[in-house]
Structure formats: C-alpha cells, structure tokens
Structure 1
Amino acid sequence: MEEENQIKLHGMWGSTFTKRVELALKLKGIPYEYIEEDLSNKSQLVLKYNPVHKKVPVIVHNGKPIIESLIILEYIDETWKNSPGCCLMIPMKELKFASGPLFEDMGRVITSDGEAQEKATKDLFEKLTVLEEGMKEFFPGGTPSINGENLGLLDVLMCALFGPYRAHEEVLGMKMIDPERNPLLFSWVMAITELPVVKESPLLMRSSWPLFSLSDRMLFTPLWLDHLIMRQMEFVPCAN
C-alpha cells in the first residue's frame, strides 16, 4: 500500500517543464521520488508510461501515469486541494504563451549568432514587452507581492522559465530581463527566485549552463537547435 501511494517524477534536469512540476510539488509539500531520464536513451518506464510521445515530465501516482506538464499541474492542484503552501492554480490558455513562443525565442537567442541572434533577440524583447503590459493587470500597484503562501500556476511557469536567467545572461553577455525595460517582470522573477522553496531546490536552481557554454555554442547547428526546441517543448520524437 505504501508503494502505491508514492509519487514518482520522471524528468530531465535541463527541462523547464520538469522544473515547473517539481516546484508545484514542493509548494504543495508533497513528497516524491525524482528519477532522472536520459532523453537520448529513454528508460522502459518512460516508454511504458508515455508510449505515444515518449517525453518528460511524467508523474506516477498510485500506479497511474500523468503526462504533459500543464495537465500534471492541474492534477496536482485537484488532488491536493487542501495542502498548505500554495493557492489554487488555475490554468489559462494564455499561459501557453510562456510555454511556447516565448521559450522558443529564448532558445534561439541562446543558440544563434549574428543576424539570426539579433532577430531572435528583437522577437524576445517584443514578447517580453507584451508580457510586461499584461502584468500590469495582475500588479496594479507596480510591485509584485509574492510569498510561499500565494503562488499560483503563472508563478510556477515563470519561475521555471526565467529561474536560470542569470546564467543565460552571463553566457550571452546581454540583459535578457532588464529592470528598466521590464521592471515588473524583473521584480516578479527576483521575488520568486528568492523564495526558500525555490532556492532550496537543486533541480530548480541548477542552471543549464553546460548546454549553453560559449564553446558548446560554436558547435550548435540548425539541426541541434530544432532538437533542443523539440525537447523543451515536450515533444521528443521516438528514438530509433
């Protein structure tokens, strides 16, 4: 019976989608076992639990697998409604903006050079401006008020997406989140990443700098970029 009640999270250390699920579990105070997956050589369990797309994250609760991060977040919120430490997390269609186009632009900024990087940077800054304007509705006072008791789904997604931004800025030599250009977004990210539950999480605080070191970037090809984006977009094709 104890084995059935265990929660297991299958993920990959550099996956934004894995990070968001881990943060939700920690905010809810839910104990779990983390299982690192090699996406180039997927385990039989991942192939069993997610036979169609063969992707992570996957959580297994009472022997039941749940796939796709937004669906997992819904499941966590519905299953542990009365757990302290996190408010109800209500998914919205608009959140796909942070899960899709915004992250894709970030990936292209990191992995490209020259004119391609300039275009990707422009696209990213335009989307961040849209996000900044939208945030004014959530924080009319101009300053985000965030603590471990009132985090919601949007906070979880943004933390997973922008948590390692310092490492990315160091590699690129540029400001991705500028306190003058995006004051609300900057304050929001800083407030979230300073929460104890976030700082104490090895997976959440582990940056993806090995993937984006300057020497590695010289080896990136368009094929690798597509592969990287497909991985992070939770749609990893089946390995032959």
Structure 2
Amino acid sequence: MGEEVKVEVVKLFGVWSSPYSRRIELALKVKDIPFEYVEEDLSNKSTLLLRYNPVHKMIPILVHNGNPIVESLIILEYIDEIWKDHPLLPRDPYERAQTRFWARFIDDKVLASVWRSFLCKDEEREKTKEEACVLLRTLESQLKGKIFFAGDKVGYLDIVANVVAFWIERVQEVVGIKIISEDKFPILCRWIERFYDVSIARECLPPKDKHLVYIKHRYEVARTWNK
C-alpha cells in the first residue's frame, strides 16, 4: 500500500475590503495553496470568528487543520514556515530580521501617519502630510535598485506593502488629498505598477468602484468621530 497523503484543510476568514485579509489571500495564491474563503460581517461577527479569535475578535484568521492563527504578519510567517515552496521571507537570518522590521514600519508607522494626514484639520494638514512623506521616502529607499522589495520577485514585504499599493491610492482618490504621486515618489509608483503587473496580485484587489464607495463611508464616519 502507498503512503497515505495528508489532506491540508485551509480556511481564510476575512473581509473583502481589508488589505490585511487580502495579504493572506495573495500569499496563499503565490504558494499555490488551496483554501476556502469565508467572508465575515464585522458588524455581526460569526460564532466561528469569535471562537477562533476571542481576544481581538478581528480578521484575518487563517485556520489550518482546525488550528487558528491570527494577525496578518504572523499568519504570513506561519504560511512561509509550513509551506516551503515559493519562499516569501529571505533565508538569511539577518535579512529576515530586516524584512520583519520594515513590515512593522509599514503597519505601525506609515499607515498611522498617512491616515492621520487624511483625518486632520485643514490647518494641520501640511505638517501631517510632510510627516507621512518622510516615512514614505524612508520606505521607498528600500526599493532602490530593486524590482520588488524582495528582489526580482514578490515576497513577504511586497505582500505587506499591498496596503500602500492600493489602500493609500484609493483613499487619496476619495478624500482628494494627494500624498503618493509620480513626481514625489517615482520609485514607489513604479513598484506599484510592477506589483499589479503580477496577475495574482491583480486578482487580490477589491473591486474598485465598490471599494471607493466603502472607503467614502468609512472616511465620513471617521471624520465625524474626529471632530
């Protein structure tokens, strides 16, 4: 008798508009891992979501053979450790540490600063925009001489930076405040074009018209709370 083949059961609980669950979708597709996608309604969270992530009660959640893993950066590392083909993170320990640093830089620094510049009062906008641009220029410096952050193919940091590639661009289209532009960030803009030249990355984009409506609603709610 032949060796029994273990069937991997992979589910992704996410929200269509979330760049964080889109990250996981992209990583799974890059690695050619079959998975079931479960769309969540965060205004009416399912019992499964609450069971799998009782601490934060948020998406994304990856469930692998019944075991839940939460938080997008942690999930990406888990995926890379379990499925070795098409590695996302560098194998060199120092390079891996640097990649993790820049991923945290995007989530903890860049996004917070950009969102603050979108929501601030008019008299504060130039200052907050410049603060965001300084951080974006720092991130852009990691692309000099490269096709992607990972080198010649999409890797972990490119997947994390999907939030820069589509979320920031779409929010600035809705709110009418330009932060990322070709003249200010030519290297970053070329990376965005190359990123979405990758067919799998395009597949993981939320439908634009629907997404812009969603962003407009979220922005209006956030502005109300920020008054």
TM-score (norm 1): 0.77
Letter in 2 for 1:123: E
The structure carrying a bigger helix percent of its residues is: 2
Where do 5+ consecutive residues of structure 1 fail to align? 226-240
In structure 2, what residue type is equivalent to 1:63?
G
CA distance 1:146–1:134, shift in 2 (3 Å): closer
Name the SS of the counterpart of 1:59 in structure 2: strand
Kindly indicate whether the alpha-carbon contact (under 8 Å) linking 1:164 and 1:208 is maintained by their aligned counterparts in 2. no
2:10 aligned with 1:7: yes
Distance 1:149 1:8 in 2: 29
Match of 1:212 among 189, 212, 215: 215
Query: Identity percentage over the alignment?
Result: 35
Report the CA distance shift for 1:47/1:2 in structure 2 as closer, same or farther (over 3 A): farther
Q: Which residue of structure 1 aligns with residue 93 of structure 2?
A: none
- Out of 173, 181, 185, the position equivalent to 1:178 is 181
1:14 Cα deviation (Å)? 2.2
Alignment-derived partner of residue 234 in structure 1: none
For the 8 Å contact 2:149–2:157, the answer to whether it is kept is: no
The answer on 1:156 being equivalent to 2:159 is yes
- Work out which of the residue numbers 187, 200, 204 in structure 1 matches 2:203: 200
Q: Which has the higher contact order (CA 8 A, sep 6+)?
A: 1
Residue 22 of structure 1 corresponds to which residue in structure 2?
25
SS at match of 2:13: strand
Query: Counterpart in 1 of 2:107?
Result: 99
Question: Could you say if the C-alpha distance between residues 209 and 108 of structure 1 is closer, same or farther in structure 2, counting changes exceeding 3 Å?
Answer: farther
Aligned-pair Cα RMSD in Å: 3.1
Contact 1:4–1:63 under 8 Å retained in 2: no
Cα contact 1:147–1:195 (8 A) shared by 2: no
Within the candidate set 64, 75, 79, 2:78 is matched to: 75
Structure-2 change in CA distance of 1:154 and 1:202 (3 Å): closer
Unmatched 5+ stretches in structure 2: 91-95
Amino acid at match of 1:95: A
Match of 1:223 in 2: 225
SS in 1 for 2:12: strand
- Give the aligned length: 217
Contact 1:19 1:160 in 2 (8 A): no
So what's the TM-score if we normalise by structure 2?
0.80
